[in-house]
Amino acid sequence: MAIQKMSESEESPKLCGVCGDKALGKNFCALSCESCKAFFRRNASNYHKMKCYYGEKCEINLETRTVCRKCRLKKCFAIGMRKEWILNDEEKEVRKRKIQNNRHKRVSNNHNNECRIVDKIDESTNSSYTPSMFANSNDISDKMDILEMIGNGNKNNVITVNAESLSTQIIEMQTNMTEETDISVEAYRKALELEMAVIPMARPLTSGRFNETESMRFTELISVTEVFRTPIPKCTSQVCNFTDAVTVLMSKCDEEVREVVKAFKQLNAFRTLCQSDQILLLKYSAIQMICMRAVVCYDDDTEHWSIPLDDDNSTLVQLKFLKGYEKDLYSPMKRFLCVMGKEYDSDETILDLMTAIVLFGPEHPDLIHKEAIKLQQQVYMYLLQRYLQMKYGSECVAKCKFIRLMNGLSYANKLHQKYIVHFLDAIPSDISPLLNEICDRRPQPKAITFTLG
């Protein structure tokens, strides 16, 4: 009987002792999921700096684990996670050299070109933490030379699709969409280019979970974008007019732009680009990212945003105030928020992946390494599609959802170019020097044009 019980126990799924999510092994001496492992590594030494606004009695589970950092970390310690198991910089460097040496030996003995590509991208995508399939392992690498990979003959990763063939397949895809949707040709184009591209990742043996390479890229991104996952505090005020609404929105926009810059400077795929490309990508994608993520704090029923002012207070900003601008920003913004709110399914992981897709937009004419940037965009598009397959359990549903999300990005880009750029340009220049830089405008006493009623 004892042996039988042991067998049943071994076959039962392993669950994270912190949040209850699926765990693949022990991390820092305790059974935990990848998310809690990464969270513990980043925050283990900061417990005394954290605050709990709910009496340190928060229930931590899969849904609430991002609400209170202090209670989550407290539970990490409670299940036996040990911060002394976290490697310091010197130990990480030693481990990094060992792994790189072993990898070079494997590559030298491998004559299969596809395997060499997988090894290269595997080497390049080690972030500041590793997936839980590497139990008790720590950080390996902090640099990815994607430009070298492109230069060494892998330019076919970025596919140029024949226009006639693409048009034919777009019509076929439009016919196969089961719901009445207004999908742009650009959304179909991106989906088809992804289908035909050679992504430098080993195709998974099973669609039920990420493979090693996918997991490392995915967990690195989630770690970087966690800065955007802040709880919305209680609403204690309400904006009453157009001018105040602009002031609040622009102040928040300025703050979010700084968070975007700070966050993505930690992403390996971004850090290895030249400084000129980094500046252009951030400059021309930051506002679009912020508009897209604004869906999280938007209530479609009441048509208002809940804008956090500090850790304890937020204010309501009604969408109708945008009617005061001389161009009709209200209607396209409402449509975008409605569409995006429906498609992202209240899943911020989807927004995280889409944020990376927006960041690596290769369309700007002044970019130097467009192929490398487009490859990175396709990697995150691929990861989004893989995530959707696992989320919905159906490849067909995942592809339809993916196309709709790409359509949302296409609409967001048009919204940004046609309306938001002009809106920002009309704002008084003393509101934000950072927004002046993004909008390429010189400081001038220019007041925003608006109408009453």
pLDDT by 10s per residue, the chain, length 453: 332 333 444 446 789 999 998 887 888 888 999 889 989 988 998 888 888 888 888 999 988 898 899 999 999 999 999 888 888 777 777 777 777 777 666 556 544 443 443 343 344 334 333 333 233 333 333 333 333 333 333 333 333 444 444 444 444 444 444 344 455 556 656 666 666 555 555 555 455 678 888 888 999 999 999 888 888 888 888 888 888 888 888 888 888 888 888 899 999 999 999 999 998 998 888 888 888 888 898 888 888 888 888 888 888 988 888 887 666 778 888 888 888 888 888 889 999 999 999 999 888 888 999 999 999 998 999 999 889 988 888 888 888 888 888 888 888 888 777 777 666 666 666 666 777 676 665 554 444 333 323
Q: Which of 40, 57, 85 is the endpoint of a domain?
A: 85
Supply 105's token pair. Answer: 């030996």
Say what the pLDDT of residue 93 is.
78
Confidence at residue 203, expressed as pLDDT on a 0 to 100 scale? 54
Closest CA to 218 of 13, 20, 413, 391: 391
Q: Are residues 151 and 201 in the same domain?
A: yes
Total domains in the fold of the chain = 2
- Say what the pLDDT of residue 274 is: 92
In a domain, 303, yes or no: yes
2 within some domain: no
Please answer whether residues 36 and 16 qualify as being in contact, where contact means their C-beta atoms are separated by less than 8 angstroms: yes
The number of angstroms, rounded, from the C-alpha of 236 to the middle of its chain's C-alpha atoms is: 30
- At 363 the pLDDT is 85
- 375 and 284, same structural domain? yes
Residue 19 is assigned to a structural domain of this protein: yes
Which pLDDT score is estimated for 429? Answer: 62
Q: Quick one: pLDDT at residue 285?
A: 87
Residue numbers of the domain that contains 78: 14-85
Q: What's this model's pTM, rounded to 2 decimal places?
A: 0.57
Residue 236: the pLDDT is 85
pLDDT at residue 206, rounded to an integer = 53
160 shares its domain with 210 = yes
Q: Rg for the chain (alpha carbons), in Å?
A: 23
Task: Please tell me whether residues 164 and 22 are part of one structural domain.
Answer: no
Sign of the C-alpha dihedral, residues 274, 264, 81, 132? negative
For the chain, the average pLDDT equals: 73
- pLDDT, residue 398, reads 84
Are residues 226 and 269 located together in one domain of the fold? yes
Asked if residue 73 and residue 39 are part of one domain, the reply reads yes
Residues 34 and 166 in one domain: no
Last residue of a domain, one of 85, 105, 140: 85
Check whether residue 24 and residue 120 sit in a common domain.
no
Closest CA to 69 of 89, 48, 85, 90: 48
Per-residue confidence (pLDDT) for residue 359, from 0 to 100: 93
Is 9 inside any structural domain? Answer: no
Residue 236's φ and ψ, nearest 5 degrees, are -120, 0
CATH of the domain at 57: 3.30.50.10
Is 3 within a domain? Answer: no
In a shared domain, residues 351 and 366: yes
CA distance 408 to 414: 10
Last residue of a domain, one of 62, 85, 108: 85
Does some domain include residue 335? Answer: yes
Per residue in 403-447, pLDDT (tens digit) is 888 888 888 888 777 777 666 666 666 666 777 676 665 554 444
**Residue 258 lies inside a defined structural domain of this protein:** yes
CATH code of the domain containing 219 = 1.10.565.10
Report which of 94, 202, 101, 78 is spatially closest to residue 138, judged by C-alpha positions: 94
Residue 6 lies in a domain: no
Residue 56 shares a structural domain with residue 101: no
% of the chain residues with pLDDT over 70: 66
Q: Are 23 and 14 in contact (CB under 8 A)?
A: yes
Q: Which pLDDT belongs to residue 16?
A: 92
Whether residue 48 sits in one domain with residue 171: no
Answer yes or no: do 331 and 371 share one domain: yes
